[in-house]
Amino acid sequence: MPTIREVASLAGVGIATVSRALNGERDVSEDARRRVLAACETLGYRPSSVARSLVRGKTENVGVALMSRHAPVILNPFYAVVTGGVEEVLEANDYHLLLSSLKRNDDLLALAQEGRVDGLLVVGCDIADEVLEKLARTGLPTVLVDHSFPGLPSVTTDHFGGAYQATRHVIEGGRQRVAFVSENLDNPNFRARLAGFRRALEDAGLPYDPRLVAAGGNAWEGGYYAMRQILAAAAPPDAVVGANDPAAISAMRALLEAGLEVPRDVAVIGFDDLHLSAQTSPPLSSVHVDKQGLGRIGAELLIARLRGERSEPETRVLPTALVVRGSSGGRA
């Protein structure tokens, strides 16, 4: 790899002039600039981004850290779309995207402190608060996506409101025994969704029956097992709200196996509105989450911060939208 010195000597100028010519400053004679450019061309020279980063103190890299138990993370249809939104904005702003799937909490701090990136987008809510605390203290510009934490800017979804919408929707369709299935009930986002579900029940004057709420494990099949638990514990519900689409979809399977028909016997609605949800039969109703917007806005927030335009932690909550398809239709 040629260096700036070789370019300088070939062009017959000093290295500072090469630097100036390449960085588009105007204090360079047309003649010198031409010679420099020509030398770069023949040598195939490009300034080393590493050397440049060292002296300028910034890398133009943004880290996207997705923590998940399911690796590789990019295969998760939710996060893949979020990442797509991030990608779009970073690219438009000439930042490079460093994709990092964190196996251990420690990896995040290492990434934040080794100076490989100018800022960090932390996606998902599987990060321990204690790590977030330390992360905030590093001072590295950071934005949380799909998660929030005091002291850190973030962009999230209106989980409570979305679940409220979904639940009210099935109730308005005439359902009275509404169940809630989830992969787990620890995830803060799922908890918020459950809270919205309960509030909707309450507002409709419907009783809350704990036997109609279950978690079946952190996997695609979680909803299936949750549904079976519910079916085993009580009389079948006439509606099911899934904490997310996979939970709802796999719950449908359990319903089917139990001889229940969707939506005739049981209305089903999911949450997230993944692309694949429209493909099930019957097509799954869902609560639309602006996944790309999450990524896009997260990246925008971070970039504003990198440019020094913003400082105080800012929180953005994206609204949801009810998407009614066949699975939550009225009774036959």
Partner DNA sequence: CTGTTAGCGCTTTCAG
Partner DNA sequence: CTGAAAGCGCTAACAG
Under 8 Å between Cβ of 240 and 253: no
103 touches a second copy (CB under 8 A): yes
50 touches a second copy (CB under 8 A): yes
**In 204-275, alpha helices (H):** 222-233, 245-257
Q: Which amino acid is at 165?
A: Q
Residues of span 57-96 touching DNA by CB under 7 A: 57
Shortest Cβ 24–DNA spacing (Å): 10
Pick the binder of DNA from 10, 17, 120, 180 (CB under 7 A): 17
Shortest Cβ 106–DNA spacing (Å): 18
Choices 9-17, 58-66, 202-210, 285-293; region in contact with DNA by CB under 7 A: 9-17
116 touches DNA (CB under 7 A): no
Task: List the single partner that 12 binds among a second copy, DNA, none, CB under 5 to 8 Å by kind.
Answer: DNA
Pick the binder of DNA from 42, 48, 138, 176 (CB under 7 A): 48
Whether the bond into 263 is cis, omega within 30 of 0: yes
The residue count for binding DNA (CB under 7 A) is: 33
Task: List the single partner that 275 binds among DNA, a second copy, none, CB under 5 to 8 Å by kind.
Answer: a second copy
Our CB check for a second copy shows the closer of 73 and 226 to be: 73
38 touches DNA (CB under 7 A): no
**Rounded distance, CA 171 to CA 99, Å?**
42
- Bridge partners of residue 149, in order along the sequence: 152
**Rounded distance, CA 81 to CA 73, Å?**
11
74 touches a second copy (CB under 8 A): yes
Our CB check for DNA shows the closer of 56 and 211 to be: 56
**Rounded distance, CA 270 to CA 279, Å?**
13
Pick the binder of a second copy from 20, 36, 78, 85 (CB under 8 A): 85
Our CB check for DNA shows the closer of 8 and 287 to be: 8
DSSP string, 157-216: E-HHHHHHHHHHHHHHTT---EEEEES-S-SHHHHHHHHHHHHHHHHTTPPP-GGGEEE-
Pick the binder of a second copy from 61, 93, 105, 315 (CB under 8 A): 61
**Rounded distance, CA 322 to CA 204, Å?**
18
**Rounded distance, CA 156 to CA 297, Å?**
10
232 touches a second copy (CB under 8 A): no
Q: What are phi and psi of 62, to 5 degrees?
A: -120, 130
Residue 207 CB coordination number (10 Å): 9
Shortest Cβ 133–DNA spacing (Å): 23
H or E segment at 240?
strand 239-242
Residues found near DNA in the complex (CB under 7 A): 1, 3-5, 12-20, 22-23, 26-33, 45-48, 51-52, 54-57
